[in-house]
Amino acid sequence: AEVGESAMEERVKDIIDAQTNPTIAPYAKDGEAILRITAKARDEEEANRLIDPVAAVLKERLGDAVYGEGETDLETVVAEQLLQKQLTLAVAESCTGGMIASNLVEYPGISAALVEGCVTYSNEAKMHRLGVKAETLEKYGAVSEETAKEMAEGIARTSGADIGLAITGVAGPESSEGKPVGLVYIAIAYKGKTEVYTCHFVGKRNKIRERVAYTALNRLRKVINDEA
SS (H, E, C) 129-164: HHCCCHHHHHHHCCCCHHHHHHHHHHHHHHHCCCEE
Q: Which amino acid belongs to residue 85?
A: K
Per-residue pLDDT of the chain (228 residues; tens, 9 = 90+): 466 777 888 889 999 999 999 999 988 877 778 899 999 999 999 999 999 999 999 989 988 888 888 878 999 999 999 999 999 999 999 999 999 999 999 999 999 999 999 999 999 999 999 999 999 999 999 999 999 999 999 999 999 999 999 999 999 999 999 999 999 999 999 999 999 999 999 999 999 999 999 999 999 999 999 843
